[in-house]
Amino acid sequence: MLAPRPQVVLTLDVAGLVAGYGDRAAVSPINSGNARRRPACRGAATFVSYAEWVRSGWASEAAALGIRERRRSHPPAELTVTGAIPDAMRYVTAVSRLAADERFGER
């Protein structure tokens, strides 16, 4: 196992990012990288285009994965943008440096 390392957390203006890149954005209702305990059903359909999510919530995810549709009020857990964001720093509103043994939100 690797030793903990210092981390940097970037806080983003997500509304601004979506305004600028929403046509290439997709959202996921789950943390797609965490599959340790009782992993949620996932697949390519877990990522729903932002425009589709605004229109119909998680309906396309449920239909493609054969699962019960999540409530419309279920917020996205992840936002992805296809391709590069050349002006990414424009959307950074804060930078937090964490010590190797510090967890985000402990301050």
Tens of pLDDT, residue by residue over 44-97, are: 778 999 999 999 999 998 888 888 998 989 999 999 999 999 999 999 999 999
What is the mean predicted confidence (pLDDT) over 30-41? 72
CB 46, CB 58: distance < 8 Å: no
Residue type for position 10:
L
CB 38, CB 28: distance < 8 Å: no
**pLDDT reported for residue 33:** 77
Terminal C-alpha separation, the chain: 26
